[in-house]
A = this chain, B = another copy of it.
Amino acid sequence: MIALSLLGIPNDDNSSYLKGTAAAPPLIRRELHCDAYSIRSETGIDFGEAGRLIDCGDLHFDGVADAWEVIEQGVGRALAQGGPLLCLGGDHAITHPILRAVRRCQPRLTIVHIDAHADLYDAYQGNPRSHASPFARIMEEGLADRLIQVGLRTVNDEHRAQFERFGVEVIEAANWRDGLRLDLDTPVYVSIDLDGLDPAYAPGVSHREPGGASPRQVIDLLHGIRQPIVAGDIVEYNPSCDISNLTALVAAKLVKELGGMMIKTALGGTRAAA
């Protein structure tokens, strides 16, 4: 049976404005396993089924070892279990060392990146590991073949220069129409920054940006992917900004829907409800 591996990466060392995302993984898990909700995905995959979900726990940052190496090695170990891997941040900076590990197994890889921000600064406040910069690092190191950014609504001139430099494909929030489908031709890594959603749905983020997507739009985009989704992350949940745990629950829902599509695309299947 193909199992989804779930790995918490509670690291917010590189958050520039407001820390707090390191508190996220246990709060997302609490919603995922709460008796009030079904753990079955709309995709038809039931994560309550024995052997369908392997929780690898949280990486531990002891303040001694280099955090990037802790992440790269931890992700490597989780991938070694053979199933698709979903990582829970932490802030968006972690996507860089995650992809170092993922890339070793994936010679062809497209990143689908849902976010309000491009996260492409060469460095931010002098920090090249900043959570505003991971995709600059990723593209420089050649950790993906294509980068598709969806839902952006804070693009500036430096971003546009980086789009050109790295050949980034961009669908801004203003152009995200219902029923959007992406044209994909390689295995896929999906990186979801929760601020890609509108703050009404996901207030628990450090940088709220009105005008974002609804959970249904994101789920619909994910359900439409037919290439294998080999790994991904859900990042930037900041409980200190949340209202009544709304965002933790949205993150848990996305674990089920993104994770469900990881299983389905690994099975070569198509969406049950389609």
Contacts and interface: CB of A to CB of B under 8 A. Distances in A.
Contact of A203 (B26, B174, B215, B244): B244
A219 B211 contact: yes
B199 A246 contact: yes
| Size bracket, chain A contacts | 35 or more
A71 B131 CA distance: 23
Number of copies: 6
Interface string A170-205: 001111011000000000000000000011110100
A11 interface: yes
Contacts of A175: 273
B273 A38 contact: no
Q: Of residues A35, A38, A61, which shows the largest number of chain B Cβ atoms within 10 Å of its Cβ? A: A38
A63 interface: yes
B240 A20 contact: yes
B177 A42 contact: no
B200 A210 contact: no
Tell me the interface secondary structure of chain A in the complex: loop
Interface of A: 10-14, 17-20, 22-23, 26-27, 35-38, 40, 42, 46, 61-64, 66-68, 70, 129, 153-156, 172-175, 177-178, 198-201, 203, 206-212, 214-216, 219-220, 223, 238-244, 246, 249-250, 253, 257, 273
A257 to B, nearest CB: 8
Contact of A216 (B155, B173, B239): B173
Nearest to A68: B63
Contacts of A239: 20, 240
Contact of A246 (B14, B26, B200): B200
Contacts of A23: 12, 18-20, 238, 240
B18 A26 contact: yes
A250 B210 contact: yes
A242 B240 CA distance: 8
Given A19-B20, A38-B156, A178-B178, 17 more contacts: A18-B26, A19-B23, A20-B23, A20-B240, A36-B208, A37-B154, A40-B154, A46-B156, A155-B273, A198-B201, A198-B216, A199-B201, A200-B246, A201-B210, A239-B240, A240-B240, A243-B244
